[in-house]
Amino acid sequence: MEVVIVADAEAAGAIAAGIVERLLGTKPACVIGVATGSSPVITYRRLVEAFCAGRITFAGAHAVLLDEYVGLPADHPQRYRRFVHEQLVEHVDLPVEHVHAPDVDTQDLAEAGRRYEALLTELGGVDVQLLGIGSDGHVGFNEPGSSLRSRTRIKTLTAATRADNARFFANLDAVPRHVMTQGLATIGDARHLVLIACGVGKAPPIAAAVEGPLTASCPASILQLHPHVTVVIDEAAASGLTHAAYYRETHAGKPSWQHY
């Protein structure tokens, strides 16, 4: 796991966008795993800038969503598919039919989960999966207690996550209780995991995920099992890390030929 500590959210977004930009350059028909929420917004903005500057094309790429709320109408502003369209897809040349999300509008959500897993396999797997982290240590919407081998399925949000996400809704009651999310094993199948976290509120879950025990109580601790993880955090999110000095030293001395 590579932990990259940067000054602020702008710098974090630039690094994450640079990883996707490089992927698009080396593998134009790639599969990008897209997260929602606040954490990847700067990354998407940077990617849009790179596209507008003519440095990248998304024409051959696919985007797969990490998760989606259950129970919101298809045109609801907080639907994650809509979020990804507004933040990224509408501004670049990614074909709309190349944007995939779990089907949360069906009656049979268990089958929808299986179909999503089959789709990810058909696409050849996810090349780079962008991730945020919840204050309770969730990745995707795998809340504490999620099976470490879980696959795409319905989950119930914790009270903490619903309170965190209430800022996007009219009030707490409007926040859905259920989501469909890629499982922890699904996320672990991606070839490169890139987690972005900024702000002091992310310090406890980052410390638990990066340096705590591997446990379902902190689902993001599955990052420790993965052979290629880049955790990009600002100083505030790094403030609970015991080995921060080592991560800084490692990054400062990173060989010029070594990519993220």
Question: Hey, is 91 helix, strand or coil?
Answer: helix
**What single-letter DSSP state applies at residue 96?**
G
Residue 138 annotated as catalytic: yes
Question: Hey, is 217 helix, strand or coil?
Answer: coil
Q: Catalytic one among 143, 164, 192, 234?
A: 143
Is 198:12 a contact under the CB 8 Å cutoff?
yes
Q: How many residues in the shown chain lie near ligand F6R by CB under 6 A?
A: 14
Residue 143 annotated as catalytic: yes
List the interface residues with ligand F6R, window 103-132 (CB under 6 A).
132
CA distance 37 to 138: 13
Minimum distance from CB of 6 to ligand F6R (Å)?
A: 16
> Using the rule CB under 6 A, is 186 a contact of ligand F6R?
no
Sheet holding 67-70, edge to edge: 67-70, 178-181, 153-156
Closest to ligand F6R by CB, 20 vs 66, is: 66
Closest to ligand F6R by CB, 60 vs 199, is: 199
| Closest among 69, 136, 137 to 103, alpha carbons compared | 69
Binding mask 4-43 for ligand F6R (x = CB under 6 A): -------------------------------xxxxx----
Residue 249 annotated as catalytic: no
CA distance 193 to 81: 20
Footprint on this chain of ligand F6R (rule: CB under 6 A): 35-39, 66-67, 132-134, 138-141
Which residues are the active-site residues? 67, 136, 138, 143
